Amino acid sequence: MSNVLVVLEFADGKLKSSCLPGITCAKQIADTNGGELHFLVLAAEPSPLAQAVAGAGLGATTVHTMASPAFEPFTAEAWADGIVAAVHATNASVVGGTASSSLRDALPRAAALLDAALTSEVTAVGAEAVLTRPISAGRALLEQASSGDVAFFTARGSEFPPTEGGGAAATVSELETAEVSTRGVSVVDIQKTKSTRPALSEADVVVSGGRGMREGDNFKVLEELTDLLGGALGASRAATDAGMVPPDLQVGQTGKIVAPNLYIAVAISGAIQHLAGMKGSKTIVAVNKDEEAPIFQVADYGLVGKWEEELPKILELVKAAKAG
Ligand SMILES: Cc1cc2nc3c(=O)[nH]c(=O)nc-3n(C[C@H](O)[C@H](O)[C@H](O)COP(=O)(O)OP(=O)(O)OC[C@H]3O[C@@H](n4cnc5c(N)ncnc54)[C@H](O)[C@@H]3O)c2cc1C
């Protein structure tokens, strides 16, 4: 039996919705290899979290828990130890989850500890669990099959629909706590971005600014558009590296992968590494003063002009449309 184990993440006692596409990917893998779907909850006190997930009927037969104070706050080192111990205890042959920043950090470490292969940013599951992933910043797709006793994956959240609950309840099983080490890593402080806007990777609309915005203050006009459209603010790496906006707003290969219904790129050239994070968006609108900017090659609607002149006009049009 080739069981698939999904590592879950929680915030404020609730399952993060970002886990749901990873569960869908895992289900597809389990369906192709005839295995069962299992979940893993790593926390200081995992039982209440696991009970809630088990009751939600998300398709797993078993929700495994492992308790250790070292699992909170998150460190990739401690979670990797927990995942390795869970793999041994459950005999899972495939292990993964959504490619969140935490699991992108912890799962490769666990795979390395087990000398196992990891397929990252999976976008599709084929017959016999052959996994597709983008390579070369999305220029090509690679189909990858893993050999060995256990294989790891991270699933690109924008490529799989969120799993819906309402199925049969799962059973909860407590795993023995493994020897867990943070290997000298300690979390000194956690600074959470407080925002009333939706999370970047879950928003329906994303408005992003690039280096051409020149300074952080100029992002106010993008924030106004973002709020009018009920979306999330994003940025290119050039803008975050320059300190115009916080680094967690970075969209792209080394930032967040987004696939909203509407992506508005303002003063962003469209480097391949930026496109890797947003080209799955349903509709792409670009505003750039350079008509040769590569972003226009992926844009559904392009506006050649300076943002200083075009954004006020767009804001007026959106306000007028909203007013009726
Ligand atoms: C390994 C690696 C990983 C990377 N990961 C990422 C990533 O995750 N995300 C990412 O974004 N980048 C990433 N990069 C960087 C990437 O290669 C580009 O350097 C970056 O995306 C450029 O950002 P930009 O488009 O804002 O800036 P630029 O390329 O400098 O473009 C600025 C644009 O603004 C336009 N502009 C200027 N003034 C105005 C104006 N007044 N009105 C309208 N338009 C104007 C210009 O015409 C230009 O097209 C990565 C690079 C490497 C090597």
pLDDT tens per residue, range 142-167: 999 998 999 999 999 989 999 999 99
Map tokens 């999904």 to a residue: 6
Which among 109, 136, 106, 135 is positioned nearest to 123, based on CA atoms? Answer: 135
The 8-class DSSP code of residue 97 comes to E
Query: Does 234 map to a domain?
Result: yes
CA dihedral 246, 249, 250, 252 (to 10 degrees): 170
Domain of residue 104, CATH code: 3.40.50.620
Q: Is 150 in the pocket of ligand 1 (CB under 6 A)?
A: no
Q: What angle is formed at CA 150 by the lines to CA 147 and CA 151, rounded to 5 degrees?
A: 70
**What's the structural domain count of the chain?**
2
What pLDDT score was predicted for residue 178? 86
Helix, strand or coil for residue 42?
strand
Query: Ligand 1 within 6 A of 101 CB?
Result: no
Q: How far apart are CA 10 and CA 102, in angstroms?
A: 11
135 neighbors 169 (Cβ within 8 angstroms): no
Q: Is residue 79 part of a domain?
A: yes
Residue given tokens 């696991």 in the structure block:
50
Mean pLDDT over residues 115-124, rounded? 96
Q: Is the CB of 211 under 6 A from ligand 1?
A: yes
Assess whether the C-beta atom of 254 lies below 6 angstroms from ligand 1. Answer: yes
* 2 pLDDT more than 90: no
In this structure, are 162 and 257 located in the same domain? no
Task: Give pLDDT tens digits for 168-189.
Answer: 999 999 999 989 999 999 999 9
Is the domain of 60 the same as that of 118? yes
Q: According to the model, what pLDDT value does residue 123 have?
A: 96
Q: What is the model's pLDDT at position 202? A: 83
Amino acid at 272: I
pLDDT tens column, 209-249: 999 999 999 999 999 999 999 999 999 999 999 999 999 99
The tens digit of pLDDT for each residue in 246-301 reads: 999 999 999 998 989 999 999 999 999 999 999 989 999 999 999 999 999 999 99
* Nearest of 223, 224, 251 to residue 239 by alpha carbon: 251
The reported pLDDT for the residue numbered 267 is 98
User: Across residues 36-45, what is the average pLDDT?
Assistant: 98
Asked if residue 1 has pLDDT above 60, the reply is no
Residue 227 near residue 197, CB atoms below 8 Å: yes
Question: Where in the sequence is the domain holding 108, given as residue range(s)?
Answer: 4-174
In a domain, 70, yes or no: yes
How far, in Å, is the centroid of ligand 1 from the Cα of 204?
Answer: 23
Q: Which of 311, 106, 134, 108 is nearest to 226 (CA)?
A: 311
Say if CB 250 and CB 240 are below 8 A apart: yes
- The answer to whether residues 40 and 104 belong to one domain is yes
pLDDT of res. 192: 79
DSSP state of 251: B
